[in-house]
Amino acid sequence: MWIYEKKLQYPVRVSTCNPKLAKYLIEQYGGADGELAAALRYLNQRYSIPDKVIGLLTDIGTEEFAHLEMIATMVYKLTKDATLEQLKEAGLDAHYVNHDRALFYNNAAGVPWTAAYIQAKGDPIADLYEDIAAEEKARATYQWIINMSDDPDLNDGLRFLREREIVHAQRFREAVEILKEERDRKKIF
Does the annotation flag 67 for ligand binding?
yes
Name the packing angle between helices 152-184 and 124-148 (round to 10°): 160
Number of residues written out for the chain: 189
- The distance in angstroms from the start CA to the end CA of the chain is 38
Read off φ and ψ for residue 112, nearest 5 degrees: -60, 150
**135 annotated binding-site participant:** yes
Give 184: exposed, middle or buried? Use CB within 10 Å, 0-12, 13-18, 19+.
Answer: exposed
Binding region for Mn(2+): 35, 64, 67, 135, 168
Binding region: 35, 59, 64, 67, 135, 168
Binding region for Ca(2+): 59
